[in-house]
Amino acid sequence: MSAVGIVAESPAAPPAPETFLPIDIRPGRPEDDAARDRFVNSHARGTFFHLSGWRRAVERSFGHEPSDWIAWRGNEIAGVLPLMRTRSLSMKRHLISMPYAVYGGALGQTQEIEAALVEVARAEGGRERAGRLELRYREPSGLDLAPVSLYSTFVRDLPSTVDDVLLSIPKKARAECRKARDRHGLRLSEGLWYTRDLQRLFSNNKRNLGSPGLPLEWFQALSDEFRADVVVHMVHLGREPLAAVMSFVHKETLHAYYAGTADEVDRKYSASNFMYFALQEWCVERGLTRFDFGRSRRDSGAYSFKEHQGFEPKELPYQVALLRDRSLPNFTPSNPKTERLRKTWSRLPAWLANGLSKPLARYLP
């Protein structure tokens, strides 16, 4: 669709003939998915959320339309921008890379290719009269776009042995983990059959925080798309389920992504302390080397909890290109309108909150 004359710098060895071919940027197609995923998996900054399965799960669960862009050099992929068209509650259209994901943005063999992908998406958004183009970068992009400095991510290397996991946790949190395991007898079990319990616990926590949850169909779609790369763990006290987490395995990293707890179980049993400690042990046993604790807002309890577990925050350099919008979105608790909505939502009966969450989740990507 768009030809961009970008030529890679000459390496020391004689370049292959295709090195000098121009870059052609075209819309992504389902038949490109396998090649696109190979490119993402080979790219140093490629993430789980850049994979085509994430797009398919979002499309299936929420009905958002794909708007992917792929940069080609001859018959080889040289860059990918996963992108989807979403709608806000006001029915305004936006372009997001990627919805329901913590990471996204363009990947390319060079920064020039990434910039060209974003420029093509920006032009398309202008033609579609979209409000904004939102790029959820994990690393700085080098693009001259408005920053969104709201979230931090928490990632660290795992110890080399299972015995060292507990020692790697700060002293106070380590004591809570020991108490949960030795005094209360908590145990961690694995199985996708816990998905329904996970969704119930996750939605309960979201309601308590004043926010809609996500439908069961979304969690099932992720399991269907990624199969062995999706794992669900449950923390039990005897036969009683206390907490659950859905994680994604990508390359050498485990992403602890969706989690939920029953009421009061952290205060009584330190269930979350135990769950993430035991999950790190599970990772080491399977040869994984990095643990991604996901993103959190700087003023949130989750942010403080992750620091308490010994994870250091790293600000996420999200960026936005304002197209028809005049200002950045503001969904923070400091927004008076948001605060009133949160308080109202947290008072809803569980059955009503769950029923309303399914249609509302489509507009909160």
Q: Note whether residue 243 is domain-resident.
A: yes
Q: Note whether residue 314 is domain-resident.
A: no
pTM above 0.85, yes or no: yes
Is there a single domain that holds both residue 250 and residue 115?
Answer: no
Is there a single domain that holds both residue 141 and residue 165?
Answer: no
Q: What pLDDT score does 349 carry?
A: 86
Is there a single domain that holds both residue 207 and residue 349?
Answer: yes
Q: Is residue 7 pLDDT above 60, yes or no?
A: no
Kindly list the distances between the CA atom of residue 249 and the CA atoms of 227, 228, 264, in Å, as whole numbers in the listed order.
10, 8, 29
Q: Note whether residue 268 is domain-resident.
A: yes
Other CB atoms within a 10 A radius of the CB of residue 192 amount to 16
Share of the chain above pLDDT 90, in %: 79
HEC sequence for 259-322? EEECCCHHHHHCHHHHHHHHHHHHHHHCCCCEEEEEEEECCCHHHHHHHHCCCCEEECCEEEEE
Range of the domain at 231: 159-288+332-337+341-357
CB 67 within 8 A of CB 27: yes
Q: Note whether residue 269 is domain-resident.
A: yes
Q: Is residue 12 pLDDT above 60, yes or no?
A: no
Mean pLDDT, range 179-188, rounded to an integer: 96
Is there a single domain that holds both residue 32 and residue 88?
Answer: yes
Is there a single domain that holds both residue 171 and residue 71?
Answer: no
Task: Say which residue the tokens 């489509």 belong to.
Answer: 362
Round to whole Å and give the CA distance between 335 and 266: 29
Q: Note whether residue 294 is domain-resident.
A: no
Q: Any idea what the CATH number is for the domain that residue 179 is in?
A: 3.40.630.30
Is there a single domain that holds both residue 118 and residue 166?
Answer: no
Of 23, 33, 140, 29, the C-alpha closest to 78 is 23
CB 118 within 8 A of CB 125: no
Q: Note whether residue 205 is domain-resident.
A: yes
Q: Is residue 10 pLDDT above 50, yes or no?
A: no
DSSP 79-131: EEE--EEEE-TT--EEEEESTT-S----EESSHHHHHHHHHHHHHHHHHTT-S
Strand ranges across the sheet with 84-87:
65-66, 84-87, 93-97, 132-135, 318-322, 146-148
What are 272-318's pLDDT values in tens digits? 999 999 999 999 999 999 999 999 998 899 999 999 999 999 999 99
Mean pLDDT, range 36-61, rounded to an integer: 97
What are 65-79's pLDDT values in tens digits? 999 999 999 999 999
Question: Which tokens hold the place of 232?
Answer: 């669900």
What are 239-265's pLDDT values in tens digits? 999 999 999 999 999 999 999 999 999
Q: Note whether residue 308 is domain-resident.
A: no
Is there a single domain that holds both residue 20 and residue 139?
Answer: yes
Is there a single domain that holds both residue 14 and residue 129?
Answer: yes
Round to whole Å and give the CA distance between 220 and 231: 12
**Into how many domains does the chain fold?**
2
What element of type H or E holds 258? strand 253-261
CB 321 within 8 A of CB 94: no
Is there a single domain that holds both residue 107 and residue 89?
Answer: yes
CB 136 within 8 A of CB 97: yes
What are 206-244's pLDDT values in tens digits? 998 888 999 999 999 999 999 999 999 999 999 999 999
Of 258, 215, 210, 221, the C-alpha closest to 354 is 215
Round to whole Å and give the CA distance between 249 and 147: 29
Q: Is residue 171 pLDDT above 90, yes or no?
A: yes
Round to whole Å and give the CA distance between 237 and 55: 37
Q: What pLDDT score does 328 carry?
A: 74
- Length in residues, the chain: 365
Which range, 3-12, 51-60, 335-344, is most confident? Answer: 51-60
Question: What residue type is 17 in one-letter code?
Answer: P
Of 276, 342, 278, the C-alpha closest to 310 is 276
Is there a single domain that holds both residue 168 and residue 261?
Answer: yes
Is there a single domain that holds both residue 67 and residue 209?
Answer: no
Q: Note whether residue 133 is domain-resident.
A: yes
Is there a single domain that holds both residue 205 and residue 352?
Answer: yes
Question: Mean pLDDT, the chain, as a whole number?
Answer: 91
